[in-house]
Amino acid sequence: MFSRGAAGVQMGTRFIASKECTAPQAFKKMCINTKPEDIILIDSPVGMPGRAVRNELTEALQAQNPPPIRACDDCLKRCSRHYCILDVLNRAQRGDVTGGLVFSGTSASRIREILPVAEIIPKLISEMENTGGFYPDPR
């Protein structure tokens, strides 16, 4: 990708849906069942937007009804304290894909199966070669 002009590449979502990833199966299944309309923008408590898979948590955030903060350790200097991002990320990491925050890349809806990394890498290279490079941003 760098040889084609990219300044950086983020591909975390694709590797979550790998056999080697230690994420819970519920998290992986959510990734492979995502549709394009399920990927939404949310505002994090630190003021940065992020893409996430739509679930009960993101619906509550969009309705301005975030989960209560149980305890705050002042972990981030510029946090709105609107909700605790560490709490909702930890929930997702433990497999709570309804109350946890599942960040996602723009192409998550293209992932349809959990594969070993040894199969993912050659597929990515083949797709890049066959398409001439980058996928258009679906925004």
Judged by DSSP in three states, 85 sits in helix
How high is the pLDDT of residue 139? 43
5: confidence class by pLDDT, cuts 50, 70, 90: confident
Sign of the C-alpha dihedral computed for residues 90, 95, 99 and 104 taken in this order = positive
Segment 83-93, tens digit of pLDDT: 998 899 999 99
Question: Which residue in this structure is represented by tokens 């080697």?
Answer: 20
Sign of the C-alpha dihedral computed for residues 67, 82, 104 and 11 taken in this order = negative
Segment 29-84, tens digit of pLDDT: 999 999 999 999 999 888 889 999 999 999 999 999 999 888 877 777 778 888 99
Work out the number of other CB atoms within 10 angstroms of the CB of residue 88. 23
What's the whole-model pTM score?
0.82
115: left (phi over 0), alpha (psi -120 to 50) or beta: beta
How high is the pLDDT of residue 133? 56
Residue 16: both structure tokens together: 């979550």
Strand extents, DSSP E, 21-128? 39-43, 49-53
